[in-house]
Structure 1
Amino acid sequence: MEGEVPAGAPPQFLIHDEGDSVAVAVTALEPGRVEGAVLKSGRRCEFEILRPVPLGHKFAVTELTKGADVIKYGVRVAVATKDIAIGEYVHVENVRSARWQNSVA
């Protein structure tokens, strides 16, 4: 669940824009509470991670239903191929790139 965290804690993840549906791990994340920030606004937030997320990989910061657009950098980068919960690892098993397709098969 999202919440505010102290400004002094080093971020464990970054969200590029307020409207993004995913965050990027800036360190390897283990299940449990993680703290990070939104780059554009500087807003600090926290989420509960459901499974490990490797450095540089993404996790959901909004509920994504099958067929929903995955937003990163304020743009559509992928499409969810199944329902994705907040805090769930976002990777090839639950999304497809938006670069080469217009919809989920």
Structure 2
Amino acid sequence: MHHFLIHKRGDQVGVATTDIAAGQQVVGVFMDDDSELTVTSLQNVPLGHKISIGVLEKGGRVIEYGIPIGIAPEGLTEGEYVHTHNIKSARW
């Protein structure tokens, strides 16, 4: 059973398809080839919210759907809850 979906190879986040608990080992599925990835969640991630699937350096661009959706001023760690507290718009 999967817990999150990753839209495209190269994306840095997946979208939770169920509530994810902190410390839970969760499986994600890449939608473009059905391959799987397992990460351990560092925080609770609510249904429909994002989870980081890898490490991103400070100021790095957050990629989803194959396009940048924002910037992570402090970077991201694998399994981290990704939301407005740790990503900022790249537009302004």
TM class by shorter chain equals: over 0.9
Post-superposition Cα deviations, 1:66-91, rounded to whole Å, max 9, x if no partner, equal: 21000000000010011211000111
Secondary structure of 2:88's aligned partner = strand
Selected match of 1:74 from 66, 70, 79: 66
The equivalent of 2:4 in structure 1 is: 13
- Letter of the 2:69 partner, please give it: V
Q: Does 1:93 align with 2:85?
A: yes
Secondary structure of 2:25's aligned partner = strand
- Letter of the 1:63 partner, please give it: V
TM-score (norm 1): 0.82
Selected match of 1:37 from 26, 29, 49: 29
Taking the aligned partners of 2:2 and 2:26, their CA distance within structure 1 comes to 8
TM-score (norm 2): 0.93
Selected match of 1:26 from 17, 26, 32: 17
User: Which is greater in Rg?
Assistant: 1
The equivalent of 1:51 in structure 2 is: 43
Gaps of 5+ in 1: 1-9
Taking the aligned partners of 1:61 and 1:79, their CA distance within structure 2 comes to 15
Q: How many residues align?
A: 91
